[in-house]
Amino acid sequence: MKRVAFSALLLPALIQAQTLDVGRIDAGATAIPAPWQIVVPSEKAPPTRYQLRQWDGVAAIEATAKGSMALLARPLNMDLQPTPVLCWRWRIDAPLIHADLSKKSGDDFAARVYVAFSLPDRALNLGQRLKLGLARQLFGAQVPDAAINYVWDNRHPIGFEAPNAYTDQARMLVLESGAERAGRWIEERRDVLSDARRLFGTDQIKAAQLAIASDTDNTGEFAHAGFADFHFVPPDQPCSFSAPSR
């Protein structure tokens, strides 16, 4: 009986030890903590505004976009093998109206979560390496080898996958769509390593960056979203979301 009780006491600590927190916000924080920082891909549009907020009891990052674009990003540099599953929660006020991820002119989202990867040279063919080299000349060394965008879309069904309108080294994956679940926190769980294997054909991959965005520079629309509680867990471990405080 004592052994069972002792094991029960240890279980929460063991679960916590296997959880890799990469974006939880302290309820008492007043500024977005390092290593998160704003990344502005282009000066053609104003940056999306990010700030902290207690939102329906959740300590969150609030994003407000009005014809704007900027990522809020942090480096990862992590092996996904032990903790491949990314957990988070997000919300939007409403989906965009005119966005269409199949077109450059419609490449906007009320909310997206972006995971960038580094790949070994052998996983990239000559054409891909040449394209990446050109992209880095134009946009800087921050252009990743590959990336997955988990998006809250306005028109495509949940589960829809497609190359990004600008580059096939970035893939779009629709996790939420439309307005049915807007206006409240939605919890997500995604096996990032499994997605990367399927989309890029290799498991020799490391997560290099995590970013969030509300993105409306192409359509000029308004978007309002929240993001919270980013953490990685092993595949057999549940996500760890604290109950909202009231």
Average pLDDT over residues 29-50: 91
Residue-wise pLDDT tens digits, 78-113:
999 999 999 999 999 999 999 999 999 999 999 999
Q: What is the mean pLDDT of the chain?
A: 86
Say if CB 116 and CB 200 are below 8 A apart.
no
Going from the C-alpha of 138 to that of each of 69, 70, 196, 245, the distances in angstroms are 18, 17, 25, 45
Give the model's pLDDT for residue 198: 93
Give the model's pLDDT for residue 7: 42
Q: Which of 35-49, 198-212, 221-235 has the highest mean pLDDT?
A: 221-235
* Residue 169 pLDDT grade (very low, low, confident, very high; cuts 50, 70, 90): confident
**CA–CA separation, 140 and 157 (whole Å):** 33
Average pLDDT over residues 51-77: 96
pLDDT > 70: percent of the chain: 82
H-run or E-run covering 30 = none
| pLDDT at residue 203 tops 50 | yes
Which pTM does this prediction carry? 0.86
Give the closest residue to 186 by CA, choosing from 89, 114, 92: 89
CATH superfamily, region 2-233: Galactose-binding lectin (2.60.120.430)
Give Cβ neighbours of residue 206 (< 8 Å, ≥ 6 apart).
77, 78, 79, 80, 117, 118
Give the model's pLDDT for residue 138: 44
| pLDDT at residue 131 tops 60 | no
